[in-house]
Amino acid sequence: MLFKLYSVFRIPYSVCRYLFSGARFTVYGTVSSLLVLFLLLLTACVDPALECTDPLGCVEIRPDDPLLVAALLDQSGRAAALSAEVQNGLLMALADRDNELLGHRLELVPFDGRCQESGGAASAREILADGRIAGVLGTICSESAAAAIPLLAERGMVMVSPANTAPRLTETAVSPTFFRVAYNNRLQADLMAEFAFTTLGARTAAIIRDTTAYSIDLAATFTDHFTTAGGVILYEGVLSPGQVDIAEKLDLLLRTAPDVVYMPLFEPEAAYFVVQVHEQETLTEVPLLGTDTLLLESFARSIGTGADSTYLSAAAVSSTAYDLFLQRWADRYGVLPTTPFAAYAYDAANLLLDQITAVAQLSNDNSLLIGRQALLDAVAGTQNYEALTGTLTCQESGDCAARSSLAVLQLVDWESEESGWPPAVVWHATTP
């Protein structure tokens, strides 16, 4: 019996021997010994207190405390409307888990980056000051993200973005804890260059861009991909903010006669450009290739017949799971989402929460330890994660998006019988 107590319950052998020695086997001694044994058995069933051994430290959550996740969005400024939709996507992911994870209430804590570097930095400091926050979801604007990322990285705080698309965010050395399920904008340019060369049969192209980092990055990437495939860039012109008169650009387009024109532009300059291009008879059949910044009903309405030759690269999620997601979204919010970033938000939240579940240490009293390095390694190691927007695999850079979630869409003259919204997908990427 002494051996069984020692081997099964790991009660020290000396204690077992003391309890059951001959001197203890009186009536009184037996009762007291059994009482001590009972208490020891209870102790044997309780885990020792959890200890944090993670090199970056741990988030400690007490038995009745909530599990907190920060939503660092841009609730004021130019991205306020998109932030609201993204937040609804995050909340829907939490609701699908009954707002609970590992026996703890799940709470989304909002922060406003204001689409500014100062706002991103201030919010990051607030997040880091609250040691209860397990991870961050956000941002929307690249300006706020660029300021928040290095501050969060210093403390090993994982951040998963549903909407940041600027290439620089995953192409610097200061973002080891930043990941995004939204696509890198370079994928848009790669996609459109491939579409132009392989599907439209274009061998020459012109580029009309503006002075924003967004436009410069996409123009450079399109050039690299198109020329590597064997194409030639005949001309690259630059529009100034608000520029209406494009006579000089039109003259050069007429003289160079490109097969396609790539235009990573914003409204209203893009609309001015398309309308004036279509006033030139020899250019009306030239395909105009835009980006997701122009996936707007207002743009389609404003360019008239120019829509018929206008193609856009953008996210185009399509699956049975996504259709069900849209139905549940409409039931919950009363309207359909206006952008694909609702689905990216849902995926970002689920990815982070699933990896928290994978690494969290749970004590018998329901307290939790979440190692920051463990969580970072888990997210960085994401492979073949099935999500609404495709199969996610995180690269060393932090880019996790599925290329298959991007497509080329063709606009249609708003006055025609075939018009509708959103525009039809005419081409998907040939590789995942």
| DSSP string for residues in 358-412 | HH-EE-TTS-EEEEHHHHHHHHHT--SEEETTEEE---TTSB---GGGEEEEE--
* pTM of the predicted structure, to 2 decimals: 0.81
β-bridge pairing 424-428 and 406-410 = antiparallel
Spell out the per-residue pLDDT of the chain, length 432, in tens. 433 333 333 344 344 434 444 443 344 444 444 454 444 444 444 455 789 999 999 999 999 999 999 999 999 988 899 999 999 999 999 999 999 999 999 999 999 999 999 999 999 999 999 999 999 999 999 889 999 999 999 999 999 999 999 999 998 766 899 999 999 999 999 999 999 999 999 999 999 999 888 899 999 999 999 999 999 999 999 998 888 888 999 999 999 999 999 999 998 999 999 999 999 999 999 999 999 989 888 899 999 888 999 999 998 888 899 999 999 999 999 999 988 899 999 999 999 999 999 999 999 999 999 999 999 999 999 999 999 999 999 999 999 998 888 999 999 888 776 667 778 899 987 655
Domain at 58-183+319-402: CATH code: 3.40.50.2300
User: What CATH homologous superfamily does 186-316+407-428 map to?
Assistant: Response regulator (3.40.50.2300)
Q: Which pLDDT value is given to residue 224? A: 97
Q: Domain locations in the chain?
A: 2-44, 58-183+319-402, 186-316+407-428
pLDDT of 150: 96
What are the residues whose beta carbons fall under 8 Å from the beta carbon of 88, sequence distance 6 or more? Answer: 329, 332, 333, 337, 342, 345
pLDDT at 432: 52
End-to-end alpha-carbon separation of the chain, Å?
63
pLDDT at 135: 99
Measure the CA–CA gap between 413 and 302, rounded to whole angstroms: 10
